[in-house]
Homo-oligomer: A and B are copies of this chain.
Amino acid sequence: MSLVVHHLDDSRSQRILWLLEELNVPYEIKYYKRDPITRLAPVELKQIHPLGKSPVLQDKEKIIAESGCIVEYLIRTYGKNTKFMPKEDDPMYFNYLHWLHFSEGSAMTPILLALYMSRLGDAAAPLLPRISSELTNHFTYMSDSLGDKKYFLGDEVTGADVMLVFVVEAGLNRGLLENYTNLMYIN
């Protein structure tokens, strides 16, 4: 099997499995488990890629890390000229790239901050209003942008949805999407 997903439980690599299913490409999963106490990834992941994070995609001798880059690699390699990304001369192309970068660049930051803050209990109180306002800012933006479309770029699922779904799931898991019912489109 040429494609291997190095997959950590409860991590961003869920996105990559979804995309591979959508692309209908055969792949193998190598599973890694978080430490049950620290929730950290196991050191074995460092043998695959020096960052030691998941997802990592292996395609024969190639090793690709960073979710946005893996999504681009898979679509450009196994889904060229398909619905999964707009063509580069399509005005939607930079809209597509915007969502790829927004998902990890902007959207995940307050989600991770909230996760870290939850470990500090009351001591984190001074930072919570700022984190909360950023979460509202991002989910409002996503909800307004999606509107009543089926997917973020229109009628068809694209790499943008693959990236955004992890943000939506994180919001759902934290009970943040009550006011953004259209974002629950993934279920």
Contacts and interface: CB of A to CB of B under 8 A. Distances in A.
B98 A66 contact: yes
Nearest to A59: B94
B144 A64 contact: no
A67 interface: yes
Interface stretch (A1-9, A15-23, A120-128): A120-128
Chain A contact surface mostly: helix
Interface string A40-79: 0000000000111100000000101111110011001000
A169 interface: no
Nearest to A144: B50
A53 B106 contact: yes
B102 A66 contact: yes
A176 interface: no
A141 interface: yes
- How many A residues are at the interface, by size bracket? 35 or more
Contacts of A66: 97-98, 101-102, 105-106
A25 interface: no
18 contacts: A50-B141, A51-B137, A52-B137, A64-B94, A64-B98, A65-B98, A65-B102, A66-B102, A67-B101, A68-B100, A68-B101, A69-B94, A69-B98, A72-B97, A104-B104, A104-B105, A112-B113, A120-B120
3 closest A-B pairs by beta carbon, nearest first, are A123-B123, A104-B105, A68-B101
Interface of A: 50-53, 62, 64-69, 72-73, 76, 88, 94, 97-98, 100-102, 104-106, 108-109, 112-113, 116, 119-120, 123-124, 126-127, 137-138, 140-141, 144
